[in-house]
Amino acid sequence: TSKLEIKEDKMLEVQFVGDDDVLNHILDREGGAKLKKERAQLLVNTKKIIKKPEYGLEEDDQEVLKEQNYVEVLGRDVQESLKNGSATDGGNKVYSFQNRKHSEKMAKLASELAKTPRKSVSFSLKNDPEIMINIPQSSKKHSASDKVQLKNNDKSEFLSTPPRSLRKRLIVSRSHSDSESEYSASNSEDDEGIAQEYEEDTNAVILSQKIEAQNRVVSAPVCKETPSKKMKRDKTSDLVEEYFEAHSSSKVLTSDRTLQKLKRAKLDQQTLHNLLSKVSPSFSAELKQLNQQYEKLFHKWMLQLHLGFNVVLYGLGSKRDLLERFRTTMLQDSIHVVINGFFPGISVKSVLNSITEEVLNYMGTFRSVLDQLDWIINKFKEDSSLELFLVIHNLDSQMLRGDKSQQIIGQLSSLHNIYLIASIDHLNAPLMWDHAKQSLYNWLWYETTTYSPYTEETSYENSLLVKQSGSLPLSSLTHVLRSLTPNARGIFRLLIKYQLDNQDNPSYIGLSFQDFYQQCREAFLVNSDLTLRAQLTEFRDHKLIRTKKGTDGVEYLLIPVDSETLTDFLEKEEEEA
Amino acid sequence: NRLPEEVGRCFAFCPPSVLTSRHLAWDYFSKGRNESEDSKLRFETYQLIWQQMKSETERLQEELNKNLFDNLIEFLQKSHSGFQKNSRDLGCQIKLKEIPTAALVLGVNVTDHDLTFRSLAEALQNNVTPYVVSLQAKDCPDMKHLLQKFFSQLMDCCVDVKSKEEESVQVTQKKTHCSMDSLCSWYMTVTQKTDVKMPSKKRTTTSQWQSPPVVLILKDMESFTTKVLQDFIIISSEHLHEFPLILIFGIATSPIIIHRLLSHSVSSLLCIELFQSLSCKEHLTTVLDKLLLTTQFPFKISEKVLQVLTNIFLYHDFSIQNFIKGLQLSLLEHFYSQPLSVLCCNLPEAKRRINLLSDNQCENIRRLPSFRRCLHKFTSSLPKYPLGRQIRELYCICLEKNIWDSEEYASALQLLRMLAKDELMTTLQNCFTIFKSSPEKHLGNIAKKIEEFLAQFQSLDGENAKEEEDASGSQQKGLQKTDLYHLQKSLLEMKELRRTSKKQTKFEVLREKVVNFIDYLVREYLLPPETQPLHEVVYFSAAHALREHLNAAPRIALHTALNNPYYYLKNEALKSEEGCIPNTAPDICIAYKLHLECSRLINLVDWSEAFATVVTAAEKMDANSVISEEMNEIIHARFIRAVSELELLGFIKPTKQKTDHVARLTWGGC
């Protein structure tokens, strides 16, 4: 069996060796295959003479070792630097396949987290991952026979997939009890509950072990027949199956409860803000310490910006305050542009506009964004005394993450007298940049985990539980409209009013362009349909309107915001006027 | 100025011009944490060394490209002159349909290509033709755009060459439709004009033809669509007699791609010649050789750092530029964080500075590299390269530990002991020249010694040639015919035989001597830098910093922050076992942990309840009160915040598959 274990170890490393092969292939490109063969032969032979290895496995081990070496060097080991995520477990967890999960798991974990204060958590939770790993495999492998077996077992419903109806009932009853009972540590009833839980847990462990044992019985003869290759295939096919298991099944079993049944309605942005302001922040001392640590880097950032690098900040938590502090302490005496990437109406064009208009004081217009970019680049190349700092909050925001936008910002940042410091938050943000863009940006990465809430960043987001208001919440509507010309605002107001007048009409599909043009003319807002079209394009860019072709081929304009918000907006506008 | 708190799209802040005092970089260098008085000196040293390194790399780049460019230019000139001579010939008529094409295989390090192409365009403009246009695939989604870009860039070339008075005419033309016909007519007018101007203006080599060719560089051949390429090639081959086009394909993978992209009928319209640039690996070796393995630059990097840099190079991008960037960063970090680095400069200067600082010693570690290379000469001639094929591998090993402790070294010596005389002599000769060329006086003695050895070998030759023949003859025979394993085996046998008969040739005695001498040298001079006093002065070793800033892993950082808050917030309350978090953790961590338990879809109600359960439990630890309705609302609000933050981070997204559900965007989790 020890031999088998070794082989298993080896198999775990198989993925890595692939990389090595690729590398070898590349390295030996000019050498050609012939040379490679020769070399390999020699390698084996000399080793035999000099070292006289006793078993053939050694070479593989060495290779593995080499790979580990690589992983060690590139993957960050924890002891070496304080500010890096722990690589070994982290990587596995982020990149592993998803197991089939059951909805009760969450409630279960929650109750465990809640019930058990600090230390004793460990016991029950230690078991937990084990269960989670074992179950999906077992339930999949022994589909038919096991199910029958399990049905007999009273407590096993949680583990395998019972008939749906039963399941549903179960969930409802369970969650019901969850919400009603108030878990308190001192409650005797609750202690019973814990005990029961534990029972269930142990039960589960036993059960899964049983299944595993069965598993082994099944797989053992197979192993004997064809030792390693078969097993390898088994493993990979397992992985494949797991993948399809997680992704193919169209039915995902979740409970059918909706928020409506819950007493708490959706909150709007303002109440949410008020409520949250009552929460006293925890760990403020530690957070402060973290922030101080980062502030010490300000000078270094400035130095590195001046030397041709650009700085990007990543890590959990809003980095807005940090960047703002950087701006106020370091950039007071220099020209700089702050770009709020999370703002819904942002676009590269507005970034370029603020550079041309406000920094370079140029009021002309440009044929295209690329023209504008060329103009800016020329300006900065001509006048090397010009210096500009770009501070971009959320470079990875919805509106800026596009390929074109990134290309343009990258080209700006590659100028030696434009300094860029930016923050990214999205999990997949680095995917925005291919090698070409990365070399344009010339990033230096800094991890600044702050844990501060993303207050500003999420306030525009069309959040799930915040009162839904079409595609744009009121505040962002106001903000976007405030940045427009009075005429544009007038045009938009016209459309709002028309839409509100027709809100009770179920067959209303929007205002046709011709009618709209007529109305705008009458209100002296536009003088030609071209101006109106240009205006509409801008609205569309900001996602303020949507156009639809009717059955008659006429364009209809619609504001994709619910009428409530629109009424609120109009009221607010009138108040201000 | 508007307040920053006011949230809007973007704001520019322009301080009054009086205030805009230009901060120089060294201000920040000195204002950081290190207040020591020599920071300015250090910064200047940094800049000096960096400038030198940069110009050195640029020079290297030029040198390495020179050969390639020369070949290319020669090809262009040749193909074009053939095109010019006699167009009435029948063979030429056929050839006229073929566009001369240079396929330039540059390797996968795409980011470095830009630099190469830029210098190539420059070189072509200086030597062959003013009309050089380079296009990228992303600018040419279809034929129309391709022609437009082509045309407008040609105009720009023209403007550069000629006076700008015609600019207005060209701008109007820019907007008009572009076709091959218009290109041809443009070309006709331009060449005729220059013909007229020619006598009056002195021209460089460009003037050797009345009609200079138009060179079109397709930077990334692989990304062009087949249709665009084929159409363009067919059309331009039709017009070739009036529009002398030459194509240059930039290829990152392999030349087969041409045939894969183009059908046979199209590729037969091309007259392709292949050019291969130096492989990036070679390039790296040269760069390392010239930057790190010389005495020219005092700055050195430690084994770990070098390994990080080469690994990024080999496993990630093959980009020399990124390698240089890493080098720059390590240089900067070194000077920024190491106060002693002020001594990191060339030797006489360092001595002066030492005197100034009344510091006592700065070891002349610098003599090491030159010797290292000598060892490399020895080992690289051996089969199998026991010490690594590249000198950089050897360097790495040397930096890491005592080289003579390693097995590889032992085997190398073994092999050396078996070397035939000829080879030994040539390698010794090589070493001798290396030692001679190195400026250190110290190594002069060694060179002398080697010279002596060489002389001894030669005298040996004369003395007992016959005996020699026997020994070396049989050895060489073995070397040629059998593989190494058998050779060694037989050699061992032979040795045994000889030992019994006590007939060791003089040659063998001498060889033994030489090997011992080399062994002695290695032990004397190839000490790992860590054992040297004051090695911190010239060696930069903060590999982790480098890795963190160049090869960051934001996803892992995010995962760690969510999964194990104690890692960042060193609060005892957050300490927990592997794989679980305490209920007092930040809201977002709890929500994240709970969501890991779900599959593709998550019911918001369940989630919110689970969250509330955890959080209320945590709250109640502090105050033993009944949960009020307000409390509940606050908890709900906290949940909302956590969820929307997770959405911002890209872990979940809203879905319409089921009411009040969100979709998970990540796989896995414990």
> Residue A348 in contact with residue A409, Cβ under 8 Å?
yes
pLDDT greater than 50 at residue B60: yes
> Residue B345 in contact with residue B41, Cβ under 8 Å?
no
pLDDT greater than 70 at residue B586: yes
> Residue B99 in contact with residue B215, Cβ under 8 Å?
no
Please name the member of A81, A309, A454 whose beta carbon is closest to the beta carbon of B645. Answer: A454
Maximum alpha-carbon separation in chain B: 109
To which H or E segment does residue A257 belong? Answer: none
> Residue A437 in contact with residue B110, Cβ under 8 Å?
no
User: Looking at residue A234, what is its pLDDT?
Assistant: 59
The Cα B642–Cα B595 span in angstroms is 11
Residue contact A254–B601, C-beta within 8 A: yes
Residues in B 532-561 with any Cβ partner in A closer than 8 A: 543-545, 547-561
What sections of A13-120 are H helices per DSSP?
14-27, 32-50, 57-74, 87-95, 104-115
Q: What is the pLDDT along chain A (577 residues), one digit of tens a residue?
A: 444 444 444 444 444 444 555 545 544 444 433 333 334 333 333 333 333 334 444 444 444 444 444 444 444 433 344 344 434 444 444 444 444 445 566 777 777 776 654 433 333 333 333 333 333 333 333 433 333 343 344 433 333 333 343 333 333 333 333 333 333 333 333 333 334 444 444 444 444 444 444 444 333 333 344 444 445 555 666 767 766 766 655 556 667 776 666 655 566 677 777 888 887 778 888 889 999 999 988 988 998 898 889 999 999 999 999 999 999 988 888 888 998 888 877 888 888 988 888 888 888 888 888 889 989 999 999 988 888 999 999 998 888 888 889 999 999 999 988 999 999 999 889 899 988 888 889 999 999 999 998 888 887 655 555 544 444 566 777 777 777 888 888 888 888 888 888 877 777 888 888 889 988 998 888 888 888 888 888 888 877 888 888 778 888 888 877 777 788 888 877 877 6
The CA distance from B578 to the nearest CA of chain A, in Å, is 9
The first and second tokens of residue A285, run together, are 């001392």
Please name the member of B319, B552, B600 whose beta carbon is closest to the beta carbon of A445. Answer: B552
Residue A280 DSSP class: P
Q: Rounded mean pLDDT of chain B?
A: 70
The Cα A172–Cα A261 span in angstroms is 13
Over the stretch B8-17, which tens digit does the pLDDT of each residue have?
A: 566 777 665 5
User: Looking at residue A240, what is its pLDDT?
Assistant: 73
User: Looking at residue A61, what is its pLDDT?
Assistant: 45
Please name the member of B15, B564, B632 whose beta carbon is closest to the beta carbon of A332. Answer: B15
DSSP, collapsed to helix, strand or coil, labels residue B578 as coil
Residue contact B384–A43, C-beta within 8 A: yes
The Cα A15–Cα A89 span in angstroms is 17
> Residue B623 in contact with residue A400, Cβ under 8 Å?
no
Nearest CA-CA partner of B6 in A329, A393, A340? A340
User: Looking at residue A319, what is its pLDDT?
Assistant: 92
> Which residue is listed with tokens 């878990």?
A183
The confidence band for B426, taking pLDDT boundaries of 50, 70 and 90, is: low
Residue contact B319–A435, C-beta within 8 A: yes
Please name the member of A27, A246, A327 whose beta carbon is closest to the beta carbon of B667. Answer: A246
The first and second tokens of residue B529, run together, are 């830098």
What average pLDDT does range B339-354 have in this prediction? 62
**Percent over 70 (pLDDT), chain B:** 54
Least confident of A190-199, B211-220, B223-232: A190-199
Contacts of A461 in chain B (CB under 8 A): 644, 647-648
Residue contact B568–A76, C-beta within 8 A: no
* B494 vs A530, higher pLDDT: A530
- Between helices A486-501 and A474-482, what is the axis angle to 10°? 140
φ and ψ at B192, to 5 degrees? -65, -40
Please name the member of B311, B319, B599 whose beta carbon is closest to the beta carbon of A70. Answer: B311
Residue A267 DSSP class: B
DSSP, collapsed to helix, strand or coil, labels residue B664 as strand
The CA distance from B25 to the nearest CA of chain A, in Å, is 5
> Residue B489 in contact with residue A52, Cβ under 8 Å?
no
The confidence band for B145, taking pLDDT boundaries of 50, 70 and 90, is: confident
The CA distance from B659 to the nearest CA of chain A, in Å, is 7
Q: Using CA coordinates, name the residue in chain B closest to A90.
A: B556
Nearest CA-CA partner of B131 in B157, B152, B149? B157
> Residue B604 in contact with residue B662, Cβ under 8 Å?
yes
How many other CB atoms sit within 10 Å of the CB of residue A226? Answer: 11
How many other CB atoms sit within 10 Å of the CB of residue A514? Answer: 11
Strands B245-251 and B214-218: parallel
The first and second tokens of residue B121, run together, are 């365009």
> Which residues contact residue A372 at a Cβ distance below 8 angstroms, ignoring those fewer than 6 apart?
A349, A352, A353, A356, A366
B404 touches chain A (CB under 8 A): no
Residue B651 DSSP class: S
Nearest CA-CA partner of B515 in B369, B375, B329? B375
User: Looking at residue A73, what is its pLDDT?
Assistant: 46
Contacts 24+ apart (CB under 8 A), B371-374: B371/B443, B371/B521, B371/B525, B371/B526, B372/B293, B372/B398, B372/B526, B373/B293, B373/B434, B374/B431, B374/B434, B374/B435
Nearest CA-CA partner of A212 in A117, A293, A133? A133
* B269 vs B446, higher pLDDT: B269
Nearest CA-CA partner of B131 in B75, B190, B208? B190
Over the stretch B168-205, which tens digit does the pLDDT of each residue have?
A: 444 444 445 667 788 888 888 877 765 544 443 334 44
Amino acid (one-letter) located at B81: S
Q: Using CA coordinates, name the residue in chain B closest to A123.
A: B577
The CA distance from A111 to the nearest CA of chain B, in Å, is 7
User: Looking at residue B381, what is its pLDDT?
Assistant: 37
Least confident of A321-325, B555-559, B579-583: B579-583
User: Looking at residue A325, what is its pLDDT?
Assistant: 92
How many other CB atoms sit within 10 Å of the CB of residue B251? Answer: 24
Candidate ranges A230-244, B82-96, B330-344, B517-531; pick with highest mean pLDDT: B330-344
What average pLDDT does range B108-120 have in this prediction? 82
How many other CB atoms sit within 10 Å of the CB of residue A243? Answer: 13
C-alpha atoms less than 13 angstroms from C-alpha of A58 in its C-beta half-sphere: 9
Region label for A122, one of left (φ > 0), alpha (ψ between -120 and 50) or beta (otherwise): alpha
φ and ψ at B596, to 5 degrees? -65, -20
The Cα B247–Cα B240 span in angstroms is 12
